Amino acid sequence: MVTIIQAEKVKLYDLEKKFKLKFIDSPQWFNEWQQDLPELTDYEKQELDRVKASYLNLVKRPMLENMVKMAILSPLLNYAGFYLEPFYTDSEESVEITAEDGEVTIRGKIDVLVLQDQLWVLVIESKQAGFSLEIGIPQALLYMLANLRPDKNLLGLVTNGGNFIFIKLIQQEQPVYALSDEFTIRRGDDLYTVLRILKRFGQLFTASDV
């Protein structure tokens, strides 16, 4: 009998046990978020300051997932160029993945998906503001595992609107992943850095280097 697990309830333990997922704690292995980041224009910085101010105002009250998308994610995707060719976005995409032994199937829907040439190149999982990113990381990895290709690295972002972590996933002898540092919208220029990383990812995808 096949066990069905809903994506929002999946744990890293489930992915490690059933899908042989392995964590790599190596800054050198995931350097895409650290090296050759493009600079931002003064206009982009001003707009991000407005995004930050909007967040600090909205977070005074309960801020649900749709508001996170509109106020935080949408401007970041726009300024990073992910609404332009060759990228396009989708949302509420159904995903299903079954373990090799056929005993466990995980089902769920991704919040925002950025695609290029029919390939999943950036997965964004927005969780309700105030929730720990630890809740979203297994879900993002699940969606990436469901579309993993041996010839492609997958890069992702998990955010609750105020905090951000980037993910890299690649198929080697087994699927392996790494995480970036955690960025927070309240700390200094972290939001600038988040946009610079997204822009860098876009450059890599366009150049087919990922």
Asked if pLDDT for residue 13 goes beyond 80, the answer is yes
Q: Identify the top-confidence range among 7-11, 51-55, 113-117.
A: 51-55
Whole-model pTM: value is 0.86
Query: Both tokens of residue 73?
Result: 């994610």
Where residue 7 falls among pLDDT bands split at 50, 70, 90?
A: low
Strand partners, 114: 89, 122
Tally of domains within the chain: 1
Nearest to 162 by CA among 198, 128, 124: 128
Per-residue model confidence as pLDDT tens digits over 164-205: 999 999 987 889 999 999 999 999 999 999 999 999 999 988
Cis ω for the linkage preceding 150 (within 30 of 0): no
Report the percent of the chain where pLDDT is more than 70.
76
Question: What are the backbone dihedrals phi and psi of residue 59, each rounded to the nearest 5 degrees, phi first?
Answer: -70, -10
Per the structure, the complete domain to which residue 13 belongs is given by 3-206
What lies within 8 Å, CB to CB, of 2 at 6+ separation is: 98, 102, 103, 104, 105
Question: What are the backbone dihedrals phi and psi of residue 144, each rounded to the nearest 5 degrees, phi first?
Answer: -70, -40
**CATH number of the domain bearing residue 179:** 3.90.1570.30
- Residue 149: count other Cβ atoms within 10 Å of its Cβ: 11
Nearest to 80 by CA among 179, 164, 140: 164
